[in-house]
Structure 1
Amino acid sequence: MRIIAGEFRRRLLLTPKDAEVTRPIPDRVKESLFSLLRGHCEGATVFDAFAGTGAIGLEAVSRGATRCVMVEKDREIAEILRKNIGTLGVQGRCEVVVGDALGPGALARAPRPLKLAFVDPPYPIVQDPLGYLRVMEQLKALIQLLTDDGFAVLRTPWPLRHREGGEAPEAVPEPKRWKKKGKGRRERGDGRGFGAEGEEGRRRGSPKPSAKPDKRVEELDPEGDFGVDDLDLDELGLEGDEFGEMSEEEAAAFEAQAGGGATDKPTPVWKDVNLKVEGAVGPETHVYGSMAVHLYMKAKP
């Protein structure tokens, strides 16, 4: 893992032997994210939740952030983070908090005023409805601390859905490397565009935040056809005209038996998660394969 740009460009960061422990953001996604935030890091105060070994927080420091509070729950990972801070010689600009990034103690340590907030929780947390609520409550609180030109950034798997009934979907595999097949897609919708607060934002344009995610439902049988058209009725001991004389109940039972009982399984229904936050503008969603980053700003009174 390395710093991409700024004062410490190309400097390598220590990482744990098992990279799956920290799930670092892929370099190309990180580069794209900081391009979106160009002009907002210089002199910024930063809060980095789920900091890991510093991939996001130290990138912000390299690009000019004057203070960065990084929260990491795992003590061993936090120790590696401290070593990375020491290697770069930025102890005076960084603070490491060992604790729950979604707890009140972490929120109390957030800089005030706050220019940039990064929330990058493990995927299983946001895929669980209760965990997702905790993440969004903390995100809401952080957004209220933002300056008028500040940003909060949330990273999630994509698409992000919860199963109706409260069960979390099967975990999305953590991406080990993201290969660029094209620019990240920006979900567009109604609302005030981001990046309009300053010269850099005006030069680069003001994309609009997403109003609603795609509405797609996974179905066990997309075509709605649990038929027996391809069955060999002779092999099953039935003639074709015999099947045609069955009652509806008999035909349904026959199809269920021939199809391995598929009709007995309820069709799972997935609901797209509402990513909007009360008191915030956004999200502006950028999709990178199986993950997405969502940008928010504090709504003006």
Structure 2
Amino acid sequence: MAKKNTVATRGNQVRIIGGQWRSRKLNVPDAPGLRPTPDRVRETLYNWLAAYIQGARVLDAFTGSGALFLEAMSRGAATGVALDLNPEVVSNLRNNLTLLQCDTAEVLRADALQHLKQTPIKGFDIVLLDPPFHQDLLLKACQLLEEHHWLQAEAWIYTESEQAPSSLAVPSNWRLHREKHSGQVHYALWQKVT
């Protein structure tokens, strides 16, 4: 017998594209400014990361709908930490992780920039940066990741923004690996080089 979805049905849904939870549809809140990363963009990103996601430590600094984060956990990330300031978003993602019986992910209600001013016990292999647009958050987050040692050597960093990757002033030790755009959204995968 299929397990009943205990998450409220209001709002929108995201579909997990690959991995152990492939084709699962999960509810996301209908919060202002929340724009889940489209399926096609997520599929492209995780094709880029296919050789690196298994066993990775993943940080999603602006989790929003949780679509990127849930996709990483579904595809074999060992552990994950998701950050968001919106209590409804945090509660919804925690409910979705419970529904999926995932106990290797943690969701924190936190301001990403304030949280990134701390130094973690251990760095992350993959970091997802999809902040709200037009709020000057992306480059500040990139700088804090470097300044406070959030990244493992050769870590992968995904960025989603309203600007072309070539115009972003990311840290000088990040190499652009791949980039694409979908409509007005530019997305890119960077690798930290030592």
TM-score range, shorter chain: 0.7 to 0.9
Distance 2:119 2:141 in 1: 17
Asked whether 1:82 is paired with 2:94, we answer yes
Give 1:53's aligned amino acid: S
Aligned to 2:18: 5
Aligned to 2:150: 145
CA contact (8 A) 2:139 2:170 kept: no
Q: 30-39 vs 278-287, which deviates more?
A: 278-287
Structure 1, unmatched stretches of 5+, are 160-209, 214-272
Note the alpha carbon deviations across 1:167-206, whole angstroms, 9 max, x for none.
xxxxxxxxxxxxxxxxxxxxxxxxxxxxxxxxxxxxxxxx
Note the alpha carbon deviations across 1:199-247, whole angstroms, 9 max, x for none.
xxxxxxxxxxx7xx4xxxxxxxxxxxxxxxxxxxxxxxxxxxxxxxxxx
> Which structure has the larger Rg?
1
How big is the shift at 1:278? 2.6
Aligned to 2:50: 38
Provide the TM-score with structure 2 as the length reference. 0.83
Note the alpha carbon deviations across 1:55-86, whole angstroms, 9 max, x for none.
11111010001100000100111111111111
How big is the shift at 1:47? 0.3
1:54 is aligned, of 66, 72, 77, to 66
Distance 1:58 1:299 in 2: 27
CA contact (8 A) 1:74 1:98 kept: yes
CA contact (8 A) 1:118 1:152 kept: yes
Structure 2, unmatched stretches of 5+, are 1-13
Q: 63-72 vs 278-287, which deviates more?
A: 278-287
Percent identity over the alignment is 29
Note the alpha carbon deviations across 1:89-130, whole angstroms, 9 max, x for none.
00x201111011111x3454757231100011001213xxxx
Question: Greater share of helix residues, 1 or 2?
Answer: 1
Question: Greater share of strand residues, 1 or 2?
Answer: 2
1:286 is aligned, of 168, 180, 186, to 180
- CA-based RMSD of the aligned residues comes to 2.2
Q: Decide whether aligned partners of structure 1 residues 82 and 106 sit closer, same or farther in structure 2, where only a CA change above 3 A counts.
A: farther
Give 1:57's aligned amino acid: F
CA contact (8 A) 1:119 1:153 kept: yes
